[in-house]
Each structure stands twice: as C-alpha cells, then as structure tokens.
Amino acid sequence: MFGLRKNVSLKDLTTFKVGGKADYFIEISQKRKLIQVLRWAKKKNLPFFILGNGSNVLFSDKGFKGLVIKIKNKKIRKTKKTLIAGAGILLPELSNIFLKNGWVGLEWANGIPGTLGGAIYGNAGAFGEEIKNIIKNVKTIDINSLKEKKYNREGCQFVYRESGFKEKKEIIWEAELITKKGNKKELKKKAEEFIKYKIGKGLFKYPSAGSVFKNIKIDETPFSKFFKKNFVFINGKKVEVKAGKVSAGFFIEQCGLKGKKIGGAMISDFHANIIVNFDKAKAEEILFLIDLCKEKVYKKFKIQLKEEIIVINT
C-alpha cells in the first residue's frame, strides 16, 4: 500500500521521545485513503492506533504490534461564523490563525504541541480554558461502518479531560469551530503571557507529555469539608482551588517525589505533575514513576490519581 512503512520508531512520533517500533505506520491526509487503510487493517486482523502529534501518549519499549495511523488532515475553510479545520492541524498553528483574526478561545493553546483531533478526544485545555468552548460540531469516521458521523457539542459529551469519543469506535476527522470576535491586541497579549509562563517554568526544557495526571476534583477528596471559595486546607496547608480542582502536582510534591529520578526519567523539579525524559529514558522508567506517584499519593491522602496521558502497552 502506498505510504505504508514497516518497523517505524515511535520515539520520533511522540513528545516523550520513548517507545519501541510500530510494525506498520502510515500518514493519512485524505478521507478516502483512511477508509482504504482501515479496510486493509481489518482484512489483516491488525490492531491499530490513531495518532495525532503524540503529545499525550506513552508507547511501550516493546513498540506497537500493529498499525499506527497518523492523522495529517490539516485542511481549513472559513464559513460565515465558523472555521472548519482538519483533525491533524497542530494547536499552535490553529491558535495563531485565531489570534491573527482576533477570534476568542485558543489563546491557551499556543505552545501546546498536540493536534485538534487529540485535543477534542481528551478535551484538552489550560489556564482554565478547554477546547470544548469553541466546538460547534465534530465529524468522525465510524471504524465499523466506515461511514461519516456528525456530533454537535452536546453530543461530544465533553467533561474535564474527557469526551465521548474515548468510548466510541470512531476516528475524529474534522471539527467546526466557533469564531467569535474579540480584542486582537488583548488576545495576543494573553497568549504571549501564557507562553512566557510556560517557558519560565521550564516546560520545554526536556521531552515530556505535559501533565501526566488529571487534576483532582475537590468534592471527590476527603478534604471537601475544608473547601472555601477558591482554596482548601489540606493537612494544615492552604491550597489554591481552580475550577473546583486541586493540582495533582500538589499531592505528588507533598509526598516528596518532586525531582525523583529513575534511569533517564524524572518527576520534574519545576512541576510535580510532569515527568520528563532528561537522559534517554525508557518507557518502563516513566511507568515506574507513574505507579510510584499513584501509590504514594493514595497511601498519604487516600486519593486515586488518574492518568491524563494515554499509555499504550500493546
């Protein structure tokens, strides 16, 4: 099949820069080609994984025993009140289009190395904003019927770092985004402040997948009775609460894990909810630190950390 490659290193396809090889790999920018590839994979009885820019994925050191399909659909077209964008467009590229036109809602996405499709899949967000806020509808390809489906925002079932697409056997192909006008100068200033904050925190110093765990909903913790308007007291410490959540990094740091290393992986010293590949880390080393965080936080706080990243062990 044209464009199909064998034994492709996954290290080069993820921002973690770890992982073995995929048995098969292909990049897809046309819907017709995607359907053709899905038929081929079904005929070969091959498991497959849909990849965006690999910014929220951890592949096993053993690789992926199947087909990795990278969605490269980056087409955009403007309607009167919306922008229709392919799932493969990178968030910084999309953010810049919004900023250039003075459209509200993607200032937070500048500097996030994911794709629109991946962002919709996990309802990505930052600084109190989420991708769901600008979604009008989403088009997918059903893996079984190979037919197109369309969902409005409510049909996407967005919640914090989740969407209904995690349960559906469908591939996000494109989305229609709301283009609401704002103050261009203010939006640009806001986006610049966000990116300066990330650079200042050292978020781009080493390969990583950003936040490893979802932040903790305060009403799901033993400390909810100590919750005030925008803070909560946890073991005598006053902790900030944003949008009803406490940073997962706070609990990890309180367990003394900030800066903890194993091999080439480290729980970062600038944010405890980020694990970095500082020296040719292996996936098993990163997984060890993930499990360590979950174990220690549960033991100390009786809180179960839940991964925001996708771990692929196939």
- Phi and psi torsions of 85, nearest 5°: -130, 140
Give the architecture (CATH level 2) of 5-71: 2-Layer Sandwich (3.30)
CATH 3.40.462.20 fits 76-186, yes or no: no
Alpha-carbon distance of 211 to 99, in angstroms, equals 25
Inter-residue contact 244 to 218 (CB < 8 Å): yes
Inter-residue contact 66 to 20 (CB < 8 Å): no
Alpha-carbon distance of 132 to 287, in angstroms, equals 29
Instruction: Look up residue 5 and give its two tokens.
Output: 């490659």
Inter-residue contact 55 to 210 (CB < 8 Å): yes
- Phi and psi torsions of 21, nearest 5°: -110, 150
Q: Give 275's strand partners.
A: 267
Inter-residue contact 232 to 220 (CB < 8 Å): no
CA-wise closest residue to 10 among 227, 298, 311: 311
CATH 3.90.78.10 domain position(s) in the chain: 205-297+308-312
Inter-residue contact 272 to 252 (CB < 8 Å): yes
Contacts of 256 (CB under 8 A, 6+ apart): none
For residue range 189-231, list pLDDT tens digits in order: 999 999 998 888 788 899 999 999 999 999 989 998 888 888 9
For residue range 260-272, list pLDDT tens digits in order: 999 999 999 999 9
Percent of the chain with pLDDT over 70: 99
- Phi and psi torsions of 311, nearest 5°: -105, 120
CATH 3.30.465.10 domain position(s) in the chain: 76-186
Domain 205-297+308-312 sits in CATH at: 3.90.78.10
Q: Helix or strand or coil: residue 312?
A: strand
The stretch 163-188 carries a mean pLDDT of 96
Q: What's the pLDDT score for residue 314?
A: 65
For residue range 285-303, list pLDDT tens digits in order: 999 999 999 999 999 999 9
Inter-residue contact 31 to 70 (CB < 8 Å): no
Q: What's the pLDDT score for residue 312?
A: 94
CATH 3.30.43.10 domain position(s) in the chain: 5-71
Is the pLDDT at 13 greater than 90? The verdict is yes
Inter-residue contact 88 to 72 (CB < 8 Å): yes
**Residues assigned a catalytic role:** 161, 211, 308
Record the pTM.
Answer: 0.94
Alpha-carbon distance of 19 to 64, in angstroms, equals 9
- How does the average pLDDT of the chain come out, rounded? 95
Is the pLDDT at 75 greater than 90? The verdict is yes
